[in-house]
Structure 1
Amino acid sequence: MIAVDVDTATWAPGTYLHRLAPQACDNLRTMTPRRRAESGDVLISQGAMERHVILLHGGISKITALTSDGVESLLAIRVGGDLIGEMSALNDLPRSATATACTPLVYSVIRRSQLQVFLEQQPGAALALAGMVADRLRWANQFRVDFTAYPAKVRVARVLVKMAVAYGRRTPTGLEIGFELTQSELASLCGAAEVTVQKSLRDFRRAGSIITGYRTVTVIDLDGLQQAAEL
């Protein structure tokens, strides 16, 4: 069962639903029936000729893409309130990435024609969509800057800080990143070798900034990790 009450959820800043006016948010959330997916279910496949978008009501999904040599690269994490698949809906090209459920989640499928009518009737929603796309482009550009300007350990710290702040779940210990994250996925997200990520995590543990479990990371000293991230 999904632990999120999707009718009273507070949408994370930066998500599409958070950007919408209350009435537009309600209209979009009730446009189509909700569906459920289990962890590991694929919502969108790279290369597919599809034009619908997916609205996440609750849960977490990861966005991945296969490189030319067949290596899977983690591009982003999406949470409740996020819209997925907007690129193909807007530019009529094949899916550029795969979206996979990291946790049980609730979502709805919105056809491109439905989205177009919604945006025509809600000019503010169209501006919100443009803002969301711009922010994702800005994030991608910042990632490229970080990749060239900072050493790998700093990039690992930056990714951990961003995920803890955006998706962390408050526990008695600290901010637990609320989804399974393998070291190889973390490596692809911050553009570092897996052995470098392992060493960085070990250093952060010794410094008392994080604790790690099976595919989990809990940030126990956010200030210390931010210093390591040079933020």
Structure 2
Amino acid sequence: MTGLRSFPEGTFLHYLPPAVRERLLALGAEARYAAGQVLMRQGEASTPIFVLLEGVAKVSARPGGGHESLLAVRVAGDVVGDMVPLTHSLHAATVTTCGAVRASVVSGPAFLDFVRGSAPAGLAMSRFIVDRLRWAEQSRLDLAGYDTGACLARLLLSLAGRHGRHGTRGLDVGVPLSGPELAALAGADPDLTAKALRDLRRRRLIRPVDGRIEILDVTALATLANFRAF
């Protein structure tokens, strides 16, 4: 039963009581998506809401129509597309699956009625939005004033703290991100980020595994980054 599953802290489904969670999922139709599928595009006004049940999606945008930047990642328990019905606006970003994704697809009007008609749902949505804003702001503060290597280390630790899971030899960061995508999230130069990744691998602090990154020594990486480990 989906309602009895646990979802990562900070996600919308994590904040919903199990019975209310089941009511939300009953409003939608379950769908599966392959890697690289676009769930919504920046500038469009599509209204389906995607409640992620499994997998990871990337949120990206092209400010002013320029170079595409990775803004965030969304995992199981998160909701994407919610701001369109809530604010009657266009999508501010594009959301693309990275790996297989299973989601419950709910219509915008049904989702809006659900949030409006349930005090626990309204509270959960408020907490979810605040958490997204807080994480984005804290990420910027965490990376300010550090060189590329330290920024990358802090970013990897931050991602692992929110999305990580135990891997074969260490802590899997939990999100498949390329070097350029890590650079975009860290606000760093791609070439310097690639150099920093090579250095962390040389020090045996991280290793690549099937398109993901495993942290081999959390304590040493946190010391390098001047970051309080979780």
The normalised TM-score by structure 1 is 0.90
Q: CA deviation at 1:88?
A: 1.6
Matched, 1:176 2:191: no
- Does the CA-based 8 Å contact 2:3-2:22 persist in structure 1? no
Q: CA deviation at 1:103?
A: 1.0
Q: How large is the RMSD of aligned CA atoms in angstroms?
A: 1.9
For structure 1, the 5+ residue unaligned runs are: none
Aligned identity (percent) is 33
Q: Deviations over 1:53-105 (max 9, x none)?
A: 21101111111111335211111111111001122221111100011010111
- Does the CA-based 8 Å contact 2:142-2:154 persist in structure 1? no
Q: How many residues align?
A: 227
- Does the CA-based 8 Å contact 1:51-1:88 persist in structure 2? yes
Q: CA deviation at 1:37?
A: 0.4
- Does the CA-based 8 Å contact 1:103-1:179 persist in structure 2? no
- Aligned residue number for residue 80 of structure 1: 76
Name which of 152, 157, 161 aligns with 1:156: 152
- Aligned residue number for residue 220 of structure 1: 216
Distance 2:53 2:22 in 1: 12
Name which of 40, 44, 51 aligns with 2:47: 51
Q: CA deviation at 1:119?
A: 1.6
What letter matches 2:203 in structure 1?
A: A
- Change over 3 Å in CA distance of 1:204–1:52 after alignment to 2: same
Pairing of 1:27-176 with structure 2 (within 5 A): 27-68=23-64, 70-176=66-172
- Does the CA-based 8 Å contact 2:163-2:174 persist in structure 1? yes
Q: CA deviation at 1:108?
A: 1.9
Distance 1:87 1:200 in 2: 36
SS of corresponding position for 1:54: strand
Distance 2:7 2:188 in 1: 31
- Change over 3 Å in CA distance of 1:83–1:205 after alignment to 2: same
SS of corresponding position for 1:149: coil
- Does the CA-based 8 Å contact 2:28-2:107 persist in structure 1? no
